[in-house]
Amino acid sequence: MTERIELPAAYTLHALDSVDSVMDEAWRLIAAGAGEGALVWARSQTAGRTQRGRPWPSPPGNLYLGLVLRPDTAAERDPALALLALCACGSALGEIAPPMTDLKYRWPDRVIVNGAACAGVVLEDAGPGQAGDALVLGAFVNVHSHAPDQQAAASSLAAEGFQDMRVEDVLTGFCRHFARWAGLWSEQGIGPAVRQIEGRLDSTERSVTATAGAGTVRGEVVGLDQTGAARVNAGGAELRLTLTEYFGLAPANAGPGQ
């Protein structure tokens, strides 16, 4: 890569033409001692994945990034970080969207544009029994092409009328907005992100399935609680599905209420 990318000072960019997975590369950087803000960006992935290892086809022309987070405290290990990333994706796309674009969120990991998923986020920890408190946050945006999505109808920014889009512009927009949402989080908690997502919650597809405790939760997301967990209507009973449960994180890496 020869392009000069200007990112906020909080990030250290590791740009690659191709990699197996930006998430795996971020974990390799963590093992080598990389600090908070190390950001892996690849033009393509050969073994890309999203939540719980689901494959994410990753041809050139789209955005694939993995961000190293090294929380200092239990509160900073809150999985609501995923909601900050979701808001950052939505904010970055919102500022470049054509007029009349319908932009919504599908809790907790999809940005929906005109009824179809165009972006996703994922949050990983080292797993049960593993040392260290590092997290890897992934963000993926279908800029010029898309493949079938396992969780929602899919599209790309190009297909939805975003003109003359460069992957670099989406990358810098995400990084700028993630820093802004992280600042809001440090000042006001997760409330602003919860309100942003709940106010634009996708109404076309709210079904969710995730392991919770000893069982599986299946139902429809009807809203969020103050921590960012989902309120799920499961056969007439309202259940609470946390971000820790949805992303399959180790409970020890969960913040308060998660």
DSSP codes, 223-238: EE-TTSPEEEEETTEE
What is the band of 249 on the pLDDT scale with cuts at 50, 70, 90? confident
Express each pLDDT in 199-224 by its tens digit: 999 988 889 988 776 678 889 999 99
Residue of 167, 152, 181 lying closest to 91 (CA atoms): 181
99 exposure class (CB count in 10 Å sphere: 0-12, 13-18, 19+): exposed
Has residue 227 got a pLDDT over 50?
A: yes
The pairing of strands 12-19 and 38-45 is: parallel
Distance CA 5, CA 165 (A): 15
Has residue 175 got a pLDDT over 70?
A: yes
Express each pLDDT in 183-195 by its tens digit: 999 999 999 999 9
pTM here is 0.92
Query: What number of CA atoms fall less than 13 Å from residue 61's CA on the CB side?
Result: 13
Can you give the residue ranges of every domain in the chain?
A: 12-199, 207-253
Q: Which CATH class is domain 12-199?
A: alpha beta
Distance CA 109, CA 107 (A): 6
For every residue of 79-117, DSSP letters joined together read TTHHHHHHHHHHHHHHTTPPTT--EEEETTTEEEETTEE
Express each pLDDT in 72-110 by its tens digit: 877 778 999 999 999 999 999 999 999 999 999 999 999
Distances in Å between the Cα of 248 and the Cα atoms of 122, 127, 188 are 10, 9, 26
